[in-house]
Amino acid sequence: MHKKLSLIAYCFVIFFISCTGTKSVSNSTKTPKLANSLLWKITGNGIEKPSYLYGTIHLTCDYKLTDKLQKAFDETDQLALEIDMSDPKLQANMMKYIFLEDGKTIKGLLNDEDYTTLATFFKEQVGFDLKMFDKMKPIAITSALTSKMAVCENGTAYDTEFMKIAQEQNEEVIGLETIADQMKVFDDIPYEEQLKTLVEMAQKGMEESKKGFEDMTRYYNAEDLEGLLKVSAEQGLEADFQENLVDQRNRNWIPLIAKMTKESPTFIGVGALHLPGDQGVINLLRKEGFTVEPVFN
């Protein structure tokens, strides 16, 4: 899989519609190595009752509601995700930001040879003519192709399952950012660059992309955040995009997380690659005086 596309594509898998993980150049040796756990308990710094932080993945064949997950939900009163998936206007808002502006088209951004390569590949994998996506941003094409990387027919998303639990428990759902915030992240990457990586993916074939997906999924299922960070760095985007894609978003979330956890015990689910590293959510919360500990049982 082409290095840049592997993370763009996997971002859809780990982090809903936008990339929340990329090359971790900020993962300095000063940051303590994290234990293998996707679930972390947040206490201290004025919190009366514990909150929980979980690293999600948005396409999986292996979802399980473990005892420790159920216990964390039972001990919290609200759910926070990257975006509020309970918003009835969510789909409509997504459509507002998915189209190219200024009369641009996918076909117009590619030369004839590259367009034919991508169109043929897209038709083979997704079953739709690329013309249907001609006025959409490249990220829409990436999203459609990413859905074909799973090895099972009935994959699910942790966010979807968490939403079900929140609804069953009559809990409020909070978004840490909006669809507009997330789409802007990808708009900051030149469309030509995104399309170039898609063409290279088409040239290499879906099997190589599936292998990259399986490699990262293996680390995820082992709850190995450090391993996930390492393999993502090997397949990462240039450092130029790291600040917008990951670090700044993490920093934006910290005051929101601090406020909500002090007001009410909260279950927080964000993409797994947001958690590790010097600028990861775990370390940033610790710098703010919170105690963040792995939950094993």
pLDDT tens-digit map of 30-65: 678 899 999 999 999 999 999 999 999 877 888 889
Listed in sequence order, the residues at least 6 apart from 209 whose beta carbon sits closer than 8 Å to its beta carbon are 1, 5, 6, 9, 145, 149, 201
pLDDT tens-digit map of 120-154: 999 999 999 999 999 999 989 988 888 787 767 77
CB atoms within 10 A of CB 191: 17
Cα(77)–Cα(288) distance, integer angstroms:
23
Query: Mean of the pLDDT values across residues 19-26?
Result: 39
Tell whether the model's pLDDT for residue 238 goes beyond 50: no
Cα(127)–Cα(123) distance, integer angstroms:
5
SS (H, E, C) 188-221: CCCHHHHHHHHHHHHHHCHHHHHHHHHHHHHHHH
3 state DSSP class of 20: coil
For the entire predicted model, the pTM comes to 0.86
Q: Residues of the chain with pLDDT > 70: what percent?
A: 86
Is there a contact between 242 and 13 (Cβ–Cβ < 8 Å)?
no
pLDDT tens-digit map of 259-271: 999 999 999 999 9
Helix residue spans in the chain (DSSP H): 3-14, 67-74, 90-97, 106-109, 112-126, 138-146, 158-168, 179-187, 191-204, 206-221, 225-234, 242, 248-263, 281-287
